[in-house]
A and B are shown apart, each in its own frame.
Chain A
Amino acid sequence: KAGVTQTPRYLIKTRGQQVTLSCSPISGHRSVSWYQQTPGQGLQFLFEYFSETQRNKGNFPGRFSGRQFSNSRSEMNVSTLELGDSALYLCATRGGRGHTEAFFGQGTRLTVV
């Protein structure tokens, strides 16, 4: 069974640009969550999608957005990049509606210069 796949693994962007990250969940998983990991703030929840609907959103500015497709694949977009957006972005997927464990991808390392 394939794990959670995130693409690309590494990305370098310039301030002011926008970026789109992709997450393909484990087959059958319909819940996809995104997290930002930085040395200063640690792991912070961005948003969660379930069956193409955003179910919960963290405390991030509107520059951070996401969506989920009918095949459960998810994308997150960050517009007008700032230096502080440099981070490891992790995607997590779950198979059930309850509080089953989340399975994480290896992340996308975004560097904003």
Chain B
Amino acid sequence: AQKVTQAQTEISVVEKEDVTLDCVYETRDTTYYLFWYKQPPSGELVFLIRRNSFDEQNEISGRYSWNFQKSTSSFNFTITASQVVDSAVYFCALSLPSGNTGKLIFGQGTTLQVKP
């Protein structure tokens, strides 16, 4: 069975603090894709990053960075020097190529509140 777990339901930090959002996934497939999405109050999910299972390189994009570790089945997301605008719900998701569909399996989401 495939599953994504985001154990942190809610995180509250003060602006300029660093924060890490955890994501653990389960799949028996050797080829898979991992995603992070951000959902602001307006509702739409905004794509942040995609990683395939063969690429374990960490990635940094501005204040955002991602740590992918197959050994622990984790794909964690860190925001450095958080800002109030980072307040949103963040989702980690898994996609499998079998059947060539785009079905996304989402975690329950982590609500991040950044206080000024």
Cβ of B62 within 8 Å of any chain A Cβ, yes or no, is no
Decide: A55 and B101 in contact? CB cutoff 8 A: yes
Decide: A42 and B95 in contact? CB cutoff 8 A: no
The CA of A42 and the CA of B37, in the complex, are separated in Å by 14
Q: Which of A99, A105, A109 contacts B44 (CB 8 A)?
A: A105
Interface residues of A in 26-76 (CB under 8 A from B): 31, 33, 35, 42-45, 48, 55-56, 58
Select the residue from A98, A101, A105, A106 with max chain B CB neighbours within 10 A: A101
Decide: A45 and B44 in contact? CB cutoff 8 A: no
Decide: A99 and B33 in contact? CB cutoff 8 A: yes
A72-83: CB near B (< 8 Å → 1, else 0) gives 000000000000
Decide: A56 and B47 in contact? CB cutoff 8 A: no
Decide: B43 and A102 in contact? CB cutoff 8 A: no
Q: Which of A3, A31, A42, A88 contacts B102 (CB 8 A)?
A: A31
> Chain A's nearest CB lies how many Å from the CB of B42?
6
Measured as residues with beta carbon below 8 angstroms from the partner, the interface class of chain B is: 20 to 34
Chain A residue at minimum C-beta to C-beta distance from B106 = A43
The CA of A31 and the CA of B101, in the complex, are separated in Å by 9
Cβ of B52 within 8 Å of any chain A Cβ, yes or no, is yes
> Chain A's nearest CB lies how many Å from the CB of B97?
6
Which B residues touch A21, using CB under 8 A?
Answer: none
Which B residues touch A107, using CB under 8 A?
Answer: 43-44
Chain A residue at minimum C-beta to C-beta distance from B33 = A99
Decide: B104 and A102 in contact? CB cutoff 8 A: yes
Which B residues touch A55, using CB under 8 A?
Answer: 99-101
Top 3 closest A-B pairs, CB basis? A56-B101, A43-B106, A104-B45
